[in-house]
Chains A and B, each alone.
Chain A
């Protein structure tokens, strides 16, 4: 374990730090979601808006994972990553929503890009 990691863990130790620093700030949003759902009705306009907000948030996460990744994916050019996502999604829609095909096409573009362009 690196000196930096040791510094973060110094106060509470690793396990308590994971619970307080990672689990708590994640679960708070889930608990708030249950509490704010109140009497929210599945058929209501408010529900449609909340679901659209959730979808846009997750879409934002997706775009960030593709455009600003960390680790080994970051060494691959951004155009390859964007092309792979577009090709995979295109194959998925064109094939009548075959998930396996979409995943396969996207990953093949990543593989091809890695082998040819790095």
Chain B
């Protein structure tokens, strides 16, 4: 008998429900941004297979872009690893806050380690905005449905864009590249669950560029730790609930 009770919905059904969110604006925005990456990789002389491997194995647009840029300057392997590693520091606090939301007491650690592969900004924002309202056992399969399908679809888009789109006119390329920051900005605001999150957004926007000038090697790390801690403190001062 069909009821509105969600307790007995199997994991497979939650996976499919997650996947059904692929046809949403965040997914389309990411596709646009990945088309921009495909054009960038092709222009830098990367092969189709290399562009695909970068997308699937890394699954973090800023890391992919940094890699293409620094490899194009002929940097040594340790220098490449350092640059990419510094640009990916954000994943540690992102995955640390994603883990308590998706896991159940029974979730094995290897599954979380595997699923963390698919945590990138789009899927993280999606998870933080949708999952807390869902039954706990639905969360990981729902996330998997959305995030794994998003990754696979975007890899397909990168492949297709690489083959079909020749040189993208600079104006179109500029608009595609701009999709990432404008969408991230709104998505972060939408995913805020506490006052601290909104303070963190504002402080990170200001402190990121400030530290790029003051301490370019560790700018994001400094902006995250200092901005996030200040935001947490400010958030504690605000008593009224978040609208």
Contacts and interface: CB of A to CB of B under 8 A. Distances in A.
Contact of B62 (A61, A103, A115): A61
Interface in B172-204: 173-175, 177-190, 192-194, 196-197, 199-204
A57 B182 contact: no
Interface string B26-52: 100100000000001000111101100
Which of A30, A60, A85, A110 has the most B CB atoms < 10 Å from its CB?
A60
The secondary structure that dominates the B interface is: helix
Contacts of B40: 71
B206 A33 contact: no
Contacts of A62: 181, 184-185, 188, 204-205, 208
A69 B87 CA distance: 14
B174 A51 contact: no
Given A33-B99, A42-B132, A28 B184 contact: no
B90 interface: yes
B207 A60 contact: yes
A2 B73 CA distance: 9
B90 A15 contact: no
Which of A3, A28, A34, A58 has the most B CB atoms < 10 Å from its CB?
A58
A111 B185 contact: no
A64 to B, nearest CB: 5
